[in-house]
Each structure stands twice: as structure tokens, then as C-alpha cells.
């Protein structure tokens, strides 16, 4: 690509890779908002081609059929392509195409969370080498502007913690369980019937999608590299209607959270990223995030508590995020400059899950006889886990004990649960779930 200068009147060429729900919405917005986009960029954006697998497929889009091609590799290397939008998803061919586009001098906008979380470093290095922009706002929390605030608005602050509801499907399922009393399977079926969950919901339900987003959030928030493999991941398939009721009894709701934390330890700072269901107080701002909405809560040293809320998925919302990035990338291409690249200067170690500090809510069915509470309490003490509250409820020959701990190392909490399960007088550990609130109040 020849370098451009402002004011040549030359339009900027856009190549679109993928034309599913998000890609189609991008096309529609590019056409509908063409004049406004041209005014904001400083020159028109021209769609040069759309790479798809089946070019003949009927698509109700306001563009010429000639634009569709199966040859994505050739498209990203065209000399009249200045900007490449990748919304194919997955690792390959997306990675190869993005690398080819950057190498050829195009700026890239992608919504590909899986690729960024697995191998962001390769992309960032390629963008650095090519001196081109790589933007990916749409990869986390759909339309919600969260990556740019982390990358830029909070660049003069130190983020301590990011707590997010970043998967709409699981939030919809948990919200339905909470409002209707449905079990997990029933709520999932409902989500599928309404189009909020896919036929194979594994990526959402098992937390893979949220874990990829957690890796991206942690990397940006803490200026370090965190990959999907660094993220501790638990899904919501094990969450029962009883857990939801238990949460309610202690004034909480159950949410699948992505939690990214910076830890100031004696041997220097480190970070952690984890995705798991957790109970949060009903008056926490994240508790009122309903249905398939997303929200990200950020705690930073100077700014304090911030929250970002909005639609976490869907064609038009995600396309809005893509086009916001596209306008910035286009302005930069026009001036032959680039926006901020990867900021991984902090190079922080990732703390193993066992070393993170959490709180547990544990419900156990025990024999209703003298000495049980003392024995259970001793098991907690043996692992140096301090109990915050305990509630005992007799019901015939057995009783239920519900314990909420103070913050402790996750490994110690897990060992306590395992110890409890092996006690004679414990019939069953019926529910184990972490409890999250604000870092100020619940960190050791």
C-alpha cells in the first residue's frame, strides 16, 4: 500500500472477512451511515470485497453481488484495501489473514476474542512491526466501550480489579433461574428457544467465551500478557436451583463473573484472571444486570469504582463497536500514523488459582447430633479458614449447615471442602460457591 496523505480525495478501501450476523450488520451500517462516516474519517470508506465461504448464498444486503469472494487471501492483499475487518472468528484462517493484512500495510479491526486470547502476542507483534493499527473493541462485551477506556482513559491510573458479566447467554440462564425458580436445564432450554443460547451451548455454558474475554480484559487492565490458558475457568452447568435459593437467603444473586485482579504481594505485584459462578450482594451494581445484558465493573486506584453497561452481543451492537474502531483506524491510515500498540510493559506473573484470595459459601447436610458444629468448625480451623457466618437448620434426623467464610486462599478453601466431604458426620456437601463483593471489603 502506498503511503497516503490527507486531502488527496482518495477513498479508503475496506475488506470484510466473514458475513454472518455481525458482518451483515457491518455492511448495513457502512452503507446507511456512509456520509456520516466519510465526514468523521475525512474521506469516504469504500467496501472493496466481502470474503465468505458461499458467495452464492442469498443475502439481503444493500451491496453488489460482485463484492462477494471466496478468496480471502487475495482480498486482504489487494493494493486498494487499507482496512480489514475480521469477523470470521476462530483461530485459522483468521490469524493467517490478519497477519497477511498487516504485513501488506492494512489496519485491522477484529471481533475475534478466541484468537486474541490464545495468541494475541503474535497479532500485536505483527501490528507493531507493520506500524499499523489493530483494534478489537467488539471482542469483549459487544457494544459496550470497555477496551478503549481501559487502554486509553485509564492509562494514567492503576487498575486493581475488573469484575464483569461478559457472557449474555449464561447471564440469561442464571437470571431466568433466579426470577422463575427454574433449574439449569429448563432455563437453558428456554434460552435456546429464544435464541439466547446456541444449539451447542458449550462455549458459553462452560465459560470458554467468558475466559477468553477475561484474558483480554486482564491484559489491557494490567498492561501485561494474559492468555486464555492463564484463566481459571468454571462454567454454570453445576449451578442448581438450590444454590440460587441459598444465594437469595443471604441477600445475593448468582452471576457468572470474569474476575481479573492485581495482587500486591511481598515479592512484587502479580495478576490473576478467573471465570466462575459467584454470589454477589443484591445491591451490587452488577446484581441488577438482567437477561442477556453485559456489564463490566472496574476498580482503580484514583478513579474509584466505574461501571460500563450495555448489550453484550447481537449484530447491530457488535457492528457499532467494529465501526467505532474502523473510524479510528481509518483516520490513522489517512495520516499514516498508528494508535497505541500493545502495552505489556508490566510483565506481571500470573498467580495460580490456589493462591488467589476468595470467600466460599458452603452448604452441608450433617447428622443432627451434639458435637457436629464443633467438628465442622475444627475442619475450617485446620485449614486456617476463618468463618464469617454460620447458620444451622435442623430438619428431622439431619441438619443443614450453611457457612460463609472470610477471605482465604482458594486452595485452603478447596481443601476445607474436601476435608468436610470426608467427615463421617457430613452426609453431603450440597453447595459450594464463591462469594464476591468489592475488593476493599473482602480482600485480606
Locate cell 433449574: which residue? Answer: 183
Q: What are the backbone dihedrals phi and psi of residue 226, each rounded to the nearest 5 degrees, phi first?
A: -130, 125
Please give the Cα distance from 173 to 178 (Å, whole number). 9
Return the SS3 of 305.
Answer: strand
Contact stretch for a second copy (CB under 8 A) within 86-94, 317-325, 377-385, 415-423: 317-325
Task: Considering the complex, state which of residue 332 and residue 392 has its C-beta at the smaller distance from a second copy.
Answer: 332
Q: Which string of b and e fits 42-75 if b means at least 16 CB within 10 Å?
A: ebebbbbbbbbeebeeebebebeeebbeeebeeb
Task: Considering the complex, state which of residue 228 and residue 330 has its C-beta at the smaller distance from a second copy.
Answer: 330
Q: Kindly identify the residues of this chain, within the stretch 268-307, that bind a second copy according to CB under 8 A.
A: 285, 288, 300-307
Cβ burial of 193 (10 Å; 0-12, 13-18, 19+) is exposed
Please give the Cα distance from 281 to 11 (Å, whole number). 52
The answer to whether the beta carbons of residues 235 and 177 sit under 8 Å apart is: no
**Secondary structure letter of residue 301 according to DSSP:** T
Contact stretch for a second copy (CB under 8 A) within 34-42, 61-69, 350-358, 426-434: 34-42
Element (H, E) at 174: helix 168-180
Among 88, 259, 327, 357, binds a second copy (CB under 8 A): 327
Task: Considering the complex, state which of residue 211 and residue 252 has its C-beta at the smaller distance from a second copy.
Answer: 252
Task: Indicate whether 440 belongs to the interface with a second copy (CB under 8 A).
Answer: no
Task: Indicate whether 72 belongs to the interface with a second copy (CB under 8 A).
Answer: no
Contact stretch for a second copy (CB under 8 A) within 62-70, 91-99, 270-278, 314-322: 314-322
Locate cell 471442602: which residue? Answer: 417
132, β-bridge pairs = none
- Fill in the per-residue mask, 1 to 30: x = in contact with a second copy (CB under 8 A), - = not in contact: ------------------------x---x-
Among 187, 247, 271, 322, binds a second copy (CB under 8 A): 322
Task: Indicate whether 97 belongs to the interface with a second copy (CB under 8 A).
Answer: no
Q: Which of 100, 84, 80 is nearest to 92 (CA)?
A: 100
**Nearest approach, Cβ of residue 301 and a second copy (Å):** 8
> Quick check: is 213 catalytic?
yes
Please give the Cα distance from 310 to 294 (Å, whole number). 6
Task: Considering the complex, state which of residue 277 and residue 315 has its C-beta at the smaller distance from a second copy.
Answer: 315
Q: What angle do CA 327, 329, 335 make, to 5 degrees?
A: 105
Q: What is the number of residues in the chain? A: 444
Task: Considering the complex, state which of residue 144 and residue 215 has its C-beta at the smaller distance from a second copy.
Answer: 144
Task: Indicate whether 442 belongs to the interface with a second copy (CB under 8 A).
Answer: no
**Nearest approach, Cβ of residue 324 and a second copy (Å):** 4
Among 309, 334, 353, 357, binds a second copy (CB under 8 A): 309
Q: Kindly identify the residues of this chain, within the stretch 335-354, that bind a second copy according to CB under 8 A.
A: 335, 337, 340, 343, 345-346
**Nearest approach, Cβ of residue 93 and a second copy (Å):** 25
Please give the Cα distance from 109 to 148 (Å, whole number). 13
Please give the Cα distance from 108 to 329 (Å, whole number). 8
Task: Indicate whether 111 belongs to the interface with a second copy (CB under 8 A).
Answer: no
Task: Indicate whether 164 belongs to the interface with a second copy (CB under 8 A).
Answer: no
Return the SS3 of 403.
Answer: strand
- 15 preceded by cis ω (within 30°)? no
Task: Indicate whether 321 belongs to the interface with a second copy (CB under 8 A).
Answer: yes
| Active site residue ranges | 213
Which residues of this chain interact with a second copy, rule CB under 8 A?
25, 29, 33, 36-37, 39-40, 137, 143-145, 148-149, 152-158, 223, 285, 288, 300-311, 314, 316-317, 319-328, 331, 335, 337, 340, 343, 345-346
Amino acid at each position: 500500500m502506498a503511503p497516503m496523505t490527507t486531502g488527496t480525495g482518495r477513498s479508503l478501501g475496506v475488506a470484510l472477512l466473514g458475513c454472518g450476523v455481525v458482518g451483515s450488520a457491518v455492511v448495513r451500517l457502512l452503507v446507511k451511515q456512509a456520509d456520516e462516516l466519510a465526514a468523521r474519517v475525512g474521506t469516504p470508506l469504500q467496501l472493496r470485497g466481502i470474503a465468505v465461504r458461499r458467495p452464492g448464498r442469498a443475502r439481503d444486503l444493500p451491496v453488489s453481488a460482485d463484492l462477494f469472494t471466496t478468496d480471502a487471501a487475495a482480498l486482504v492483499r489487494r493494493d486498494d484495501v487499507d482496512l480489514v475487518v475480521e469477523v470470521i472468528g476462530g483461530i485459522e484462517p483468521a490469524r493467517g489473514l490478519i497477519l497477511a493484512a498487516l504485513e501488506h500495510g492494512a489496519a485491522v479491526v477484529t471481533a475475534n476474542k478466541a484468537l486474541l486470547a490464545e495468541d494475541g502476542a503474535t497479532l500485536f507483534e505483527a501490528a507493531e512491526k507493520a506500524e499499523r493499527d489493530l483494534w478489537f473493541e467488539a471482542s469483549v462485551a459487544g457494544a459496550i466501550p470497555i477496551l478503549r477506556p481501559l487502554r486509553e482513559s485509564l492509562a494514567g491510573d492503576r487498575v486493581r480489579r475488573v469484575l464483569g458479566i461478559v457472557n449474555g447467554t449464561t447471564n440469561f440462564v442464571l437470571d431466568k433461574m433466579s426470577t422463575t425458580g427454574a433449574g439449569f436445564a429448563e432455563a437453558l432450554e428456554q434460552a435456546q428457544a429464544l435464541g439466547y443460547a446456541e444449539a451447542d451451548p458449550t462455549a458459553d455454558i462452560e465459560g470458554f467465551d467468558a475466559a477468553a474475554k477475561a484474558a483480554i480484559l486482564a491484559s489491557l487492565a494490567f498492561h501485561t500478557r494474559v492468555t486464555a490458558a492463564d484463566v481459571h475457568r468454571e462454567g454454570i452447568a453445576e449451578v442448581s436451583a438450590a444454590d440460587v435459593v441459598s444465594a437469595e437467603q443471604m441477600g445475593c444473586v448468582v452471576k457468572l463473573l470474569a474476575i481479573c485482579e492485581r495482587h500486591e504481594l511481598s515479592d512484587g505485584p502479580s495478576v490473576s484472571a478467573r471465570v466462575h459462578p459467584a454470589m454477589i450482594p443484591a445491591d451490587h451494581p452488577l446484581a441488577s444486570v438482567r437477561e442477556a445484558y453485559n456489564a463490566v465493573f472496574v476498580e482503580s486506584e484514583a478513579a474509584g469504582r466505574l461501571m460500563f453497561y450495555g448489550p453484550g452481543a447481537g449484530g447491530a451492537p457488535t457492528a457499532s463497536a467494529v465501526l467505532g474502531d474502523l473510524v479510528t483506524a481509518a483516520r490513522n491510515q489517512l495520516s499514516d500514523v498508528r494508535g497505541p500498540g500493545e502495552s505489556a510493559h508490566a510483565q506481571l506473573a500470573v498467580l495460580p488459582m490456589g493462591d488467589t484470595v476468595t470467600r466460599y459459601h458452603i452448604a452441608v447436610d450433617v447428622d443432627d447430633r451434639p458435637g457436629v458444629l464443633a467438628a465442622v468448625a475444627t475442619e475450617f480451623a485446620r485449614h486456617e479458614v476463618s468463618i464469617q457466618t454460620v447458620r444451622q437448620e435442623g430438619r428431622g434426623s439431619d441438619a443443614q449447615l450453611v457457612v460463609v467464610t472470610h477471605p482465604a486462599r482458594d486452595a485452603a478453601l478447596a481443601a476445607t471442602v474436601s476435608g468436610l466431604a470426608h467427615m463421617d458426620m457430613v452426609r453431603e456437601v450440597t453447595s459450594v460457591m464463591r462469594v464476591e463483593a468489592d475488593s476493599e471489603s473482602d480482600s485480606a
